[in-house]
Chain A
């Protein structure tokens, strides 16, 4: 098992060394036209998927940004584990498990926005509203690790950045965006879930731009493209996220309001006294 793991890790060095050789794709106009011509045929085909990536793949970010992402992600994860170990309520365990499984499935599904683009649920706001900010980080991190290790969704080298963007940035943003309007559940959920997606996309754009600057254009995407493109898509994807999250919270408030009143795993729990 250990040898198998080392073999996998060995290929990481190969990737980082050779990333520049195969990451830029030279697509001729003819190929692009052909691709466009083939698209309707593909859609009318028998629903066969070619490939799927929803999270940051390997070889896109510079090694320095990847390392920084791992450090920040591990710090966030360590805080959430520390807080959960102190304050996790027995009743929260099944809720946490069901919520995680539900978000896993929801993240598989892309909903269409515009220009042939799709977006998927992040689930950060949903997890934060039900479990608290550190509970959200914990649940989303586990989902991202499972998606990466078992289903190849997102690269293993960029797992730190995926955890940082979606679990840490998404959850913390959702928590602080939700707090001021907590009395109006619908308004606060709409705003927190929309902002969590935009903040996660903004963090990703920062990483793309930073990778581009640090590597002299070898990795990442130039800032003038990364920021407007990522934000324009995710501002719309955030609306889908807001509608789905608010529907789930509204439904829960109607049928099981006590779930929303459960004690949350908050930021204070990571730094407070002993259990």
Chain B
């Protein structure tokens, strides 16, 4: 990748990281399509069965922190899953080879 494009891409990512939590805190006050449909028939969300250890945050700073935490958690877990799958694939391939 060209150096200029890399710089612009990094700039866009940093800008998004700083501004998106602010936008999230604003926009999250409105319901989404499903919530609005539930509102039409006056259905209130019941208590969650599973109490999650985190939330998406309640102000700019916590949203930024939890957003970053979620980003890296997802990155780590998916990478781990991909790595485990690759390892299983390689093991299965080695097994097939040794049988021959």
Contacts and interface: CB of A to CB of B under 8 A. Distances in A.
A46 B25 CA distance: 9
| Interface residue range, chain A | 35 or more
B15 interface: no
Contacts of B88: 85
Please report whether the interface of chain B is mostly helix, strand, loop or mixed according to DSSP.
Answer: helix
A151 B70 contact: yes
Contacts of A11: 49
Interface string B60-95: 100000110011111111110111011011001100
Contacts of B48: 57-58, 152, 155-156
A58 B52 CA distance: 13
Contact of B52 (A96, A109, A150, A237): A150
Contacts of B71: 101-102, 104-105
Residue among B38, B55, B73 having the largest count of chain A Cβ atoms under 10 Å: B38
A100 interface: yes
Contacts of B77: 142, 146
Interface residues of B, number: 64
Given A15-B46, A97-B79, A255-B1, A49 B40 contact: no
Contact of A42 (B9, B29, B36): B29
Nearest to A100: B78
A157 B20 contact: no
Contacts of A119: 32-33
A241 B31 CA distance: 17
Contacts of A9: 49
Nearest to A117: B36
A112 B89 CA distance: 44
